A and B are shown apart, each in its own frame.
Chain A
């Protein structure tokens, strides 16, 4: 099974974040500050806006997960340096996904933990594991059955942005929800 990749040039920041594997030239990545991420989300109650799943047969060519206007479009949680603590700014995003995963039959999600390049590789693999584990525990606490979640860690081996800079490091300290 191939990992879904998304690339919508109309939303430069999200495109840059999700561009791994995409042929398009990404715009220069931005540091994903909480304010920026908040500003990009439509206002209102995320969970309430999610329609009931359409059933097992997808009729829409663009699912909620692929629609840049959907609150489910953003699937990345960012972390501070050398910590697996989920930032408060990510709670809303995770609750939105928790509600969707909970309500949607048959859906399962890989939680891919990543770190920046600083420090040792094996420690970072363990840190990525802790981050994926933290996201899993959050989602389970929100009611998601654990069997729908598959946490794993890539450590620093799969950077979203492979350069050496504060900005790249911020983009690389993440957990990606991969549906």
Chain B
């Protein structure tokens, strides 16, 4: 088991003048559990400080923790490092070969004349001694943690050929019990820098990211009835886009960001609708007396999957984005719901029930080749990381709601939880460009 990282989240100035002032500072804990079989050994040497730089963050530590969390790398513990070079000319590659490392990262931090820092780093292949990557990342004084995540992303992408997700964010819903307030929060993918986006005495549900990661759609009951809001994260400005009679739920941005799929029951029973965000034109996509809900777009935007109990039990169906006849996708089991596509469109994740347990399962796009991703009894709200290599979902530990993330390439999984209260409904942001 890896050491736990505990951080007191930054106090966040409420964007909406909601009543968060009295909220105690939330501590977020990340715990990595399970083995890391097949993970590549990598040494991330503590970065040097030059020209009087005094960064308030151990950048190499953040980079190493990111790489470890991916499940694909096993960073060398610092106490086992015999040397701590910061530049290529100081590296004795044979030492690292003897220590059985595959890769080596060294770097140094220099102050910028305009404030902030330049972080130069170097990725070496230990076997050949070849330089794989040299780059400089600039950062403000406050942005060092994000800079470290971007360095980890660059290293991950160079070594695996896939984009890194360490500089992404996760939206989730918290509450501290049934009498307490509910909050929609956003944290870095490692659980740090948690901020409250909106907080309410009434339920908040179903956060969904816009494709540019600048907005969140969500459902709030603050008007004593469900309504869908779209909120700009930078400005805090928000708009209520659906508050019809009945339920207003399950918002999902189209891949081009121009449309919002949703579930409305204004016409008598829950059906899927698509709202064009520019023209405000609302189109009904399904029309069935059963429940139709939980729409999710295919990555190319041409079709949507959704949950329907039109066959008697909840199953996944697929419909063209232009409408038409829905095709049933899942046939195995008597409860399949909340499906969403992998970023490359080659898989679906969903919640399934088997032997009375609700777990996250991954299937091919046609509902076959089932593979369980989670192992709880009441697991739900699965969300793919934007590179498709990890799934985050809500689960329960000792009767308390926590988040768990499972890399799809190894058995390691880690849990994100608050020290008190419930955490649920995680939604992983798209890549931040």
Q: Which residues of A contact B (CB under 8 A)?
A: 20-21, 82, 117-123, 125-130, 133, 151-155, 157-159, 162-164
Contact = CB atoms under 8 A, between A and B. Distances in A.
21 contacts: A82-B335, A119-B358, A120-B338, A120-B381, A121-B206, A122-B205, A122-B307, A123-B307, A125-B247, A125-B249, A125-B250, A126-B293, A129-B265, A130-B269, A133-B269, A151-B246, A152-B224, A153-B226, A153-B246, A157-B221, A164-B399
A103 to B, nearest CB: 26
A121 B425 contact: yes
Given A125-B205, A151-B246, A162-B178, A120 B270 contact: no
A68 to B, nearest CB: 24
A121 B270 contact: no
Given A121-B206, A121-B381, 17 more contacts: A119-B314, A119-B351, A120-B294, A121-B424, A122-B250, A122-B307, A123-B291, A123-B294, A123-B338, A125-B247, A126-B270, A126-B291, A129-B269, A152-B224, A157-B221, A158-B203, A159-B178
B20 to A, nearest CB: 20
A123 B269 contact: no
Q: How large is the interface on B (under 10, 10 to 19, 20 to 34, 35 or more residues)?
A: 35 or more
A82 B358 CA distance: 14
B240 to A, nearest CB: 16
B337 interface: yes
Contacts of B399: 163-164
Contacts of A159: 178
Contacts of A133: 265, 268-269
B378 A129 contact: no
B335 A119 contact: yes
B263 A122 contact: yes
Interface centre among B177, B205, B358 (most CB of A within 10 A): B205
Interface of B: 177-179, 203, 205-206, 219, 221, 224-226, 246-247, 249-250, 263, 265, 268-270, 291-294, 307, 309, 313-314, 335, 337-338, 351, 353, 358, 378, 380-381, 396, 399, 424-425
A126 B378 contact: no
B337 A125 contact: no
A122 B178 contact: no
Contacts, number: 100
A111 to B, nearest CB: 12
A162 B203 CA distance: 14
A64 to B, nearest CB: 25
B291 A127 contact: yes
Contacts of A118: 353, 358, 378
Nearest to A160: B178
A123 B206 contact: no
A138 to B, nearest CB: 15
A120 B380 contact: yes
Contacts of B178: 20, 158-159, 162
Nearest to B422: A162
Contacts of A125: 205, 219, 226, 247, 249-250, 263, 293
B380 A121 contact: yes
Contacts of B247: 125-126, 128-129, 152-153
A159 B175 CA distance: 13
Nearest to B350: A120
Contacts of B205: 121-122, 125, 155, 157
Given A130-B269, A159-B178, A164-B378, A122 B351 contact: no
Contacts of A163: 399
A122 B378 contact: no
A154 B269 contact: no
B294 A129 contact: no
Contacts of A126: 247, 249, 263, 265, 270, 291-293
A122 B249 contact: yes
B226 A130 contact: no
A117 B378 contact: yes
A126 B308 CA distance: 10
A32 to B, nearest CB: 19
A133 B268 CA distance: 8
